[in-house]
Structure 1
Amino acid sequence: MIETGAGRMPAYTETLPRVVGSVQRARRLVHLALEVWGLVDVQVDAELVVSELLTNAVLHACRGDSVRVTVTRLGEGRIRVAVVDLSKDKPVPRDAGGDQESGRGLGIVEALSGGQWGVDPLPWGKRVWATVGAEVVPGE
């Protein structure tokens, strides 16, 4: 359970080495959590989001040998994926040209989260997070 502003929420979390090979492990963590919670309809988007967030941490967080990945269930059909690293540098969205091989990650996160992503500064680094899934409106 993770304590959030909304109270305690179920979560899965894992500390991984800050290497490219950890992206697949993070995807498996998200996949497992969403299967357990019965949220398979958001699996593809959530796995892609964690891939982009973790890849950014691997490529751009110049401090520390590990990262922390957390997937938290926020409610019915809604989850938050977060990656904590030891760099205090905030990620900056870029406009990648058509012939560039990188630079689209945060644009993908923006699109899949409906703009619901952000960066929380921490005393030792930062947490980059994104919310995925449809918000359930009471009475609908």
Structure 2
Amino acid sequence: MTEAPPSPRHPLGITRAAWTVDCAPDAIGSLRVNVTRVLRRWGLDPDGDQAFGVLLVLTEMVTNSSVHSDSGLIDAEMWRDGDNIAVAVMDSSREEPVPRSAGPDDESGRGLLLVRSYSESSGCECWPTGKRMWAVIGPHPDPEGNALLLASLGEFQTAV
């Protein structure tokens, strides 16, 4: 994994960090360590709700890219703009992620639901060379406020 050098503070108050992530099994763990370092540099509590949301959303998006695209390398970025943190993941697939309905015994299929639940907004932009998935995590993510997540977790808990 390569990390872009820290960027200077943008005149509009935006700071940025970027990584190139390979699709190796240990890549997600390394990404989490590097993202946590940046969040600390930006003055965020690494054990706080926003840091948890950023780590969850970014690693879910990278995992989705590594599983569902042919990309050997995935670009991940993170910006701080005031109280919000935006994350983005770029890969070579031009297919937009599609939410699935995961059953209680399924090991996958909840990632996009988690991304949407922890994000104030999220989306995907497709280009001829690939796609860019993005999400904005506010200072107080509220996944409990998302009815879809509650319904999904309720189905899971009743099956256990």
Does TM-score exceed 0.5, indicating one fold?
yes
**Letter matched to residue 11 of structure 1:** R
Residue equivalent to 2:63: 55
How far apart are residue 29 of structure 1 and its match? 2.5
Counterparts of 2:60 and 2:25 in 1: how far apart (Å)? 11
**Equivalent pair of 1:71/1:81 in contact (CA under 8 Å):** yes
Structure 2 residue 80 is the aligned partner of structure 1 residue 99: no
Counterparts of 1:134 and 1:30 in 2: how far apart (Å)? 16
**Letter matched to residue 128 of structure 1:** M
Matching residue within 45, 53, 78 for 1:71: 78
Identity %: 34
Counterparts of 2:130 and 2:13 in 1: how far apart (Å)? 23
| Matched positions, count | 130
Structure 2 residue 21 is the aligned partner of structure 1 residue 16: yes
Partner of 1:84, secondary structure, is strand
For the pair shown, the structure with the greater C-alpha radius of gyration is 2
Structure 2 residue 147 is the aligned partner of structure 1 residue 119: no
Residue equivalent to 2:87: 81
How far apart are residue 123 of structure 1 and its match? 3.5
How far apart are residue 23 of structure 1 and its match? 1.1
Residue equivalent to 1:37: 42
More helix by share: 2
Larger RCO, structures 1/2 (Cα 8 Å, 6+ apart)? 1
Q: Which segments of 5 or more consecutive residues in structure 1 lack a partner in the other structure?
A: 136-140
Counterparts of 2:115 and 2:64 in 1: how far apart (Å)? 11
Counterparts of 2:21 and 2:15 in 1: how far apart (Å)? 20
Quick one: structure 1 residues 8 and 86, their matched pair in 2 at CA, closer, same or farther if it must change by over 3 Å? farther
**Letter matched to residue 52 of structure 2:** V
**Equivalent pair of 1:27/1:51 in contact (CA under 8 Å):** yes
Q: Which segments of 5 or more consecutive residues in structure 2 lack a partner in the other structure?
A: 1-6, 141-160
